[in-house]
Each structure stands twice: as C-alpha cells, then as structure tokens.
A and B are shown apart, each in its own frame.
Chain A
Amino acid sequence: MTEPTRAAAPTPAQKPEDDKRRTLVATEHLSKYYPVGGGLFSRSDRLLRAVDDVNIRVRRGETLGLVGESGCGKSTLGRLLLRLLEPTYGRIVYDGKDIAPLGQAQLRPLRRKMQIIFQDPYSSLNPRMTVREIVAEAIRIHSLAARGTEEEGMVSDLLKKVGLRPEHMNRYPHEFSGGQRQRVGIARALAVQPEFIVCDEPISALDVSIQAQIVNLLLDLQDELGVAFLFISHDLKVVQHISHRVAVMYLGHVVEQASVEKLYASPMHPYTRALLGSSPVPDPERKRLRVLLEGDVPSPIDPPPGCSFHPRCPRAISQCKKEAPPFAEVHLGSGHKVACWNPHVEE
C-alpha cells in the first residue's frame, strides 16, 4: 500500500542563492491620492493621483531602478514604501507581511530595516549636529551600542566604510563638500544595518566626478552588506549602470518594468523609448534614433482618459483614448511587463 501522495515538502534550508532571489518588498495596487481644490469648508471630489495602482517588487540584495520625470510620483512611491507617507489604498508587503495598516508603534522595529538617502546633502543633515551625533542618533534610538567607546567605535567604522576619515567625526556638515556630505548621509542610513534603502536621487546634486565615487560606494556596500536598493533617478545612464531591474513611471503609473538588459536593449513602451531617445549620449560620433515627444507632461489632477500617455504618444491607437491598458507581460514568463495597448515588440 502506497502512502497518499503529498505536495512536495518545502526544502528545510534554502540555499543562499534562493535567499537572494526572495522578494523583500512588494506593492499591490499601491496608490496615494491627494484631494485638491475646494475651500476650507467645502469638500472636493478632485484628486491628484500621485501614485496610482502600482505593483513593483524589490528582491533581497538587488537594486530596482526607478526612473521618470519630475512629478511622475517616483519620490512619493519611495516614501510610501517606507511608510513615511500614508497610502490611500493598496498593500505594501515587506518580508511577507503587509505593513500598510501598521501603526507608528508597530512600525518602529521595521524602521531599523528600512532607510532612506536623500537628494540634497545640504538640507538633509542637521547643521547644528556633528557628524558623530548625526550618525549616532539612530544607533541610540535603537539602542544598538552603549554610549561612549562602543558607540564611538561604531561611528568610526561606519565613516571608514563610506570613505570618510574617523577623525572627522567631530566636524559639522558645513565643513564638508557635497560628496562628503552625501557619504555622511549614507553612513547615517547604514548605522542601523538596514536590509532596504531607498536612494532618492542620491547623486543628482553632485558634480560628475563625484557622482562616480558615490555610485561606486553604493555598489561596494551592496556587495558587502547585501542591502537592497530602490534607486530613484532621472539619469538613465546611472540607473542602467547600478540596477538589476528597472521600473519606468509616468504620471503616477509604472508603465514598464524589466531586467536592465531587456529594458535598455528592447524597450516596449513608447514613453520608455522616448526617454532613452531624449537622453543625450556623450559620444559625438554616435548617431541615435531620436524620439522627440510633443508637449509637456499633463497634470496628474485631471489625467487624460484611457492611457495617460496617449496625448503625447507617437503610437497611440483609438483604444488608448478609451481604456487604461493593463500592466502585464507581453511574452509570458519574460518578466518584462508593460502597460501599453500598442507596445513596440521586436520580431
């Protein structure tokens, strides 16, 4: 007599490679709406859809690049993932658990695991605090080290890790250059040993030669610590360099998401193609296919009906004006998702 067949039992210990493939943060229909207009006493039905029905996924130890133009909702999305903003709708699944409904007290232990690096290294550091105080603040809040020598040793290690000299810990932010300040911001984020860091335009305010230093630092830190990044940027070249996968946003929606190789080699969404075609290439001998878009990004308050890109889209068909396209794979199993009725598909 044979035993009844059972579903394959889960492997007891997953291999590290499997662990790396595991999803760390995922969103389901995540949305953030802001009411606009209306006076003090009147309610307004108009909504600004900053983030609208977004489904993205960041795996452990990987970098998801998030690109789009100003006002497309990429920073809002980054802050939603960290629960620095309240979502209007949808789920944020962090390490298997929906954190969207959690209260501030319940979020506290999670705050240690999720950090953010800001764009402006000038305004994001408190000018009245020394570098040591800035970096040690989170260490104290989460009681990660005893005050005194242990804490000092930890700050010193963190500064070395980001390429700053430990003897600089008693200096104030204004004594540092922009690139060095960004390193302080990174040290502060690393202080609590996070698993996930949202990098919100971390190099946009820096000079070209300094940008490369910070990009290298982020790559090294990921290799060493296995931290996952959501790398928000409008610079397509840097995103291509640093990301494993890339998501493209337009007017609150993610319109395309794929591995970095697929997205740059065969972009399917006309907007992605326009972005790539508009980005100037530092090679005067390279002739590129220029896709010039007409007009400006419409307002997210009253976005166009159907696909919100259709008024600027060179490939728009009649369906695009009527119905918003679903965000789905064109080739099943490819992992290359696009929200478009008439995607550019190479034969």
Chain B
Amino acid sequence: MLDVRGLTTTFETQEGLLRAIDDVSFHVPEGKTLGIVGESGCGKSVTALSILRLLPDGVGAIEKGSVMLSGKELVTLPEREMRDVRGNDISMIFQEPMTSLNPVYTVGAQIEEAVALHQNVSRKQARARAIEMLRLVGIHSPEENVDAYPHQLSGGMRQRVMIAMALACEPRLLLADEPTTALDVTIQAQILELLQSLQTKLGMSTVLITHDLGVVAEYTHHVVVMYAGRVVESAPVKDLFRAPKHPYTLGLLESLPVHVEGPTPTRRTRLRTIEGIVPDLAKLPPGCRFAERCPLVIDRCRESEPALERLAGDGEDDDIPGMGSRFSRCYRAADVERPSRFAREDRT
C-alpha cells in the first residue's frame, strides 16, 4: 500500500539546515493501522507532511527518499498530480479542528467542496454526499447540521466534521495526526471507535500519529517509535508492549502510571523516568541520539550511531518496518528487558 524509504526532510532554521526526519522507512499494509509514536519534536508530524508534500514553502524540503503509494512515486510527482492524490488517495486529519475548518463557510459547503474537487458530481449530489458523510460520522440530525458553521459545533462535533471531510472521497490512506489529543476522553473513545469501524467498512489503511501509548495499544497493529528524527524501534503492537527492544521505548512504557482498572497496588511510588531532555537537532551527538539519557549506554554508543536493524526471527524478506518483523536501532537491543511486574501470567 504505502512504502516510505529513507525519507529525509530538512528545515531551514536560524541555526542552519536541520534534518527534522532522517532516513525514515516504514510500510503500511492494506487495511491496517500503523502507529507512529514519539514525543514533541521527534519528527512524527513532519513525516506525515512530507508524505503529503505539504511542507512549508521555502522552509521545509524533502532532501531524499521515496514515498510509494501503490506503486506510484509521490516525491517526484508534479504538483498538479499531487493535488489529485491529496483527498482522492490520501487524506489527513489534523489535531486542531477549529483551525483546520474555515469559519466563514458552513460545514456542508466545506465537505461539498472536497467532494466536488475530487469527484465528478453535481452540486445536488455533493450535498447529498455531505449529509451522508455527516450521518456516517455520527452527527445527529445531519440534514440540519449540514448548514451549521464550525463555531456552532462542539470540539468533538468539529473533529467529526473533519473526519467526514477527510473520508468524503473514500481515500485509500488516512493520515491522522493526533486526531483526538484536543478532545476529552469520552469523546476521544467515540472518535477512535468511529475511525476504526470506518476503516473496516472502507478498507482503508491508516497512519495514526500520537504521543499517547494507550491509544497506540488499543488502535494500532504495528508501531514505529521515533526519537529526534530517527526511527528507533518498530514492532507489532503486542510485541512492542510485551518486550520493547530499545531503551527509549522501554523508558516511555515504564514512565507511565499503572492501569486505571482494578485495585491500585502501587499508589504513590515514584514513577520511572527518562532523565534529561531530547537533544537539540542542531547539536546532535556523533553516536546514538539517545545515548545521553540511556541507562544501558556503553562507549560504543557515543562513538558511532547504530543502524536500524531487523531482529532475528521470521520474515527475512522484510527490509523495512511495518511488515511484521521487529527492528531496533540499538547496539544493546538484546539486553533491553521489561521488568517482570508486567509479566502476563495472570492473564487468561
């Protein structure tokens, strides 16, 4: 479906040319959800914008790499053809629905515009399609709300409108960048369940970008972990949580408080932390970018940066993350072990 290989994007900044993402590769299979997880500044949003070629003009640019959508190379596609790809083949949902919707048009007009741009339909058909989409995303009385302006809707409703717009042309790939971060948990659950059911219904592939490991655990099939512009680990979701193979992933998982369900066994113990902060992209170390914060660091880590390598196991043909095999960018991947308090013996 989608094959991203060696994607590298630079940004012009006061400190010079910086690589916001550096040699990012992954595969999104048909009908599956790939999660991209990482903290602010790790490059997860830049990855999505690079795929869609929506980087800010004159500031950000793809330096090298390839983005293949069902066999079609997008990086070198003429802008006019790229415009057809956006909306028709790939849609994107952004974090902030208020800033992504035009306040002076009704939501119906905006969905109709998207439909009319990409499909050869009459105005009447476009409107019917808009109402149908609003119904699909769970907006009550869509015949009335189609004429509502964005400010008349709640945050959860606006995000539904965004989804309706993104899905109106039945894209094959949806890029969802923190689609629920601005929403409350009960609304977040509604939206994510909706996305999941629409994905099944439309047979769509999804890239779900989030910082929330709970969302990753519940709504993705395969996960790519990013740190300071690099993919540092990738695995099927269960494997990643059961046995992370990069110290950064382990640190992220361990810094979370225990589950909300059931009794509260470890109340008020100290949480594990990842000491220090993310390195400045302008002053990257020569070795591993996580070395300064890593509890497993050895001299070698500071001297040269490890490559993203496939770990032993099945799938010898898998050359990039997302195909089922596990990858880690760590010399000590074999020594990374999740503590046994998360052992699964109590599971059925």
Contact = CB atoms under 8 A, between A and B. Distances in A.
B256 A282 contact: yes
B273 A264 contact: no
A219 interface: yes
B330 to A, nearest CB: 17
A230 B263 CA distance: 22
B259 A281 contact: yes
Interface residue range, chain B: 35 or more
Contact of B39 (A209, A237, A286): A209
A290 B211 contact: no
Given A208-B39, A284-B237, A275 B271 contact: no
A284 B218 contact: yes
Contacts of B272: 212
Contacts of A296: 154, 156-157, 187
A182 to B, nearest CB: 13
A216 B271 contact: yes
B273 A69 contact: no
A179 B213 CA distance: 19
B241 A292 contact: no
Contact of A281 (B156, B217, B270, B277): B217
Interface string B174-216: 0000000000111111101100000000000000000111111
A265 B264 contact: yes
Given A240-B257, A240-B260, A219 B186 contact: no
Interface in A273-306: 274-286, 288, 290, 292-293, 295-297
A213 interface: yes
Interface in B119-152: 140
B264 A279 contact: no
Nearest to B254: A212
**Secondary structure dominating the interface of A:** helix
B186 A242 contact: no
Given A177-B277, A209-B273, A283-B217, A288 B268 contact: no
A237 B258 contact: yes
A280 B218 CA distance: 7
Contact of A280 (B40, B217, B238, B266): B217
Q: Which residue of A236, A240, A274, A293 has the most chain B CB atoms within 10 A of its CB atom?
A: A240
Contacts of A213: 273, 275
A208 B261 contact: no
A275 B261 contact: no
A285 B241 contact: yes
A219 B261 contact: no
A241 B187 contact: no
B253 interface: yes
B190 A264 contact: no
23 contacts: A70-B155, A180-B277, A208-B213, A208-B252, A209-B273, A209-B274, A240-B258, A261-B264, A264-B264, A274-B186, A279-B214, A279-B260, A280-B189, A280-B219, A281-B217, A281-B259, A282-B216, A282-B241, A283-B217, A284-B238, A285-B241, A293-B190, A296-B187
Cβ-closest 4 pairs across A and B? A280-B214, A241-B257, A69-B184, A212-B255
